[in-house]
Chain A
């Protein structure tokens, strides 16, 4: 890795940190600037004014918002995520177990969907305009156009109601054997994969077609190269950056999809935790979950950026 690449990567890292700061700011103020006395909510209506006042001081609620933001940020960095309003538990403890579940779900989905999506996207671009390409396009547009919960609903109707292959809900607490595990993950993973792959196929196809339209691919054609050679040897190496971007952006759809999917299948992940937290207005929990999602998202974008930088021959071979 040379100095130019290193500098660009460090620059991207810096941009990510600034973005994260702005996001933290937005998340904090969207939730903290709201009406209602948090101390009062925590202690309930029957609490004495003295108790409420004491708690307010303990939570820095009597201090300006900007200071509280700094305290909160400091807490986040040092791993102190605060205490849940709803059950007065440590937020970090609440999240940690759930996070593993969510990451497992995301990981399995990624392993499942990325290879399939890349193959479909690249081959659709290779045979652009063919019947195969058109079918792939129509299916992906349809999947993108419908809400995630509808994909899930259809999956339940097909696999659980009519075929009765799989359970409609997944409870990961009691798992016996690999078969059971597969059955539990199957519905959420199938749903998520559909949502994520559709995006990825479309973007991969577009990226490859963009490079196929370049003069150097036409030059390869005029040298007598076969279609396979034009795609694999000339177009793909140059489409790597855009494809990495497509994969990262599509995987970020996991974040949106996971919220719906965990809810509909009752899957014990962070997203479900957050949706529940919203209904109880458990602000520290919401803030922490939101920050986790944003960090994941920004990390994905960062990885894609770095791949794009490294795969750019102009930067790599100075």
Chain B
């Protein structure tokens, strides 16, 4: 058993040390994403060194990239794209998925059957593939990326939320509300949603990880964020030639992605029982 640090903030919940570290790293990256233009040591697009793929040094903490730009500044700006796009995508996906999922569970019948079948089929398109197909057709822009990522992960969120909502819906207090004559909006908002919010938040975190990975994958293939902008996946792609020299320019963006996704996992796995295990 890992030691627990008590933190009575707000909810009076306890979270253990591993979870706290995860939360701290996530907050760190969010702060970097927001403050990037203020704290980046060099202008992002500016070629500041004559030598490409420089090693780490006191003036370039993370070395330079294939054009001689400062990697630290590029990673800081990359955080904006990676964190920002993923967050927007996952929020949209979960909003759509959870809302539809709860409605399907409460309404039931044909509505539920058809929606579930359709979204299941949708879900059977491998995610990276779906991304490729859309980008092939529509091209890549920030809006397209966010909407695509949301569309890819909304069916999963729907499925998850619906399963939880179906469990809650079977509870007697929902039946009582139904017999009372309550409408769908009340049922979803007051009776179902408060009882699935914990697991839904955990799922939100997991889905965020998936989206970060998918976005990085797309960018790595050159189909995500387009130059001159670059998210972390695109930074790896740009500097892949440096791989054979073991250049820091290719290592650090990868580490940035890993640190973000692993800390989200750490946080979720160590969420207090009260949030994590409800309704499963």
Interface residues of A (CB under 8 A from B): 15, 18-20, 22-23, 26-27, 30-31, 33-34, 141-142, 144-150, 153, 156-157, 160-162, 168, 252, 255-256, 259-260, 263-264, 274-275, 277-279, 281, 283, 286, 290, 293-294, 297-298, 301
Contact = CB atoms under 8 A, between A and B. Distances in A.
A23 B262 contact: no
Given A149-B220, A259-B129, A281 B136 contact: yes
A2 to B, nearest CB: 27
B243 A156 contact: yes
A31 B129 CA distance: 13
A267 B136 CA distance: 21
Interface string B221-251: 1110000000001001000100110100010
Most A-side CB within 10 Å, residue of B126, B136, B254, B265: B136
Contacts of B264: 145
Q: Give the interface size bracket for B toward A.
A: 35 or more
Given A149-B217, A286-B133, A256 B128 contact: yes
B261 interface: yes
A31 B139 CA distance: 11
Interface in B109-127: 117-118, 120-122, 124-127
Nearest to A129: B1
Contact of B258 (A18, A145, A286, A290): A145
Given A149-B216, A275-B132, A31 B124 contact: no
Contacts of B221: 259-260, 263, 275, 278
A256 B217 contact: yes
SS class of chain A's interface: helix, strand, loop or mixed?
A: helix
Contacts of A259: 128-129, 132, 217, 221
A19 B121 contact: yes
B133 A297 contact: no
Contacts of B254: 146-147, 149-150, 153
Interface in B93-117: 117
11 contacts: A23-B121, A145-B261, A146-B257, A147-B254, A149-B216, A161-B243, A168-B243, A252-B126, A256-B217, A283-B137, A301-B124
B49 interface: no
Nearest to B118: A22
Interface of B: 117-118, 120-122, 124-129, 132-138, 209, 213, 216-217, 220-223, 233, 236, 240, 243-244, 246, 250, 254, 257-258, 261-262, 264-265, 269
A286 to B, nearest CB: 5
A23 B124 CA distance: 8
A168 B240 CA distance: 12
Contacts of B257: 146-147, 150
A294 B125 contact: yes
Contact of A150 (B132, B258, B265): B258
A144 B126 CA distance: 16
Contact of B132 (A141, A147, A274): A274
A297 B124 contact: yes
A146 B258 contact: yes
List of 6 A-B pairs having minimum Cβ-Cβ separation, nearest first: A22-B121, A19-B121, A145-B261, A278-B136, A256-B128, A34-B137
A252 B124 CA distance: 10
Contacts of B120: 19
Given A23-B125, A256-B129, A283-B136, 10 more contacts: A19-B121, A22-B121, A27-B133, A34-B137, A145-B209, A145-B258, A149-B220, A157-B243, A278-B135, A297-B125
Contact of B222 (A27, A142, A162, A279): A279
A34 to B, nearest CB: 4
A256 B249 CA distance: 25
Contact of A297 (B126, B258, B261, B269): B126
A274 B132 CA distance: 8
Contacts of B261: 145-146
B136 A153 contact: no
Contacts of B223: 278
Given A145-B262, A150-B257, A256 B126 contact: yes
A146 B128 CA distance: 15
Contacts of B134: 30
Contacts of B122: 22-23, 26
A23 B133 CA distance: 12
Contact of B137 (A30, A168, A301): A30
B217 A147 contact: yes
Contacts of B222: 279
A281 B122 CA distance: 23
Contact of B129 (A18, A150, A290): A290
A274 B213 CA distance: 20
A145 B126 contact: no
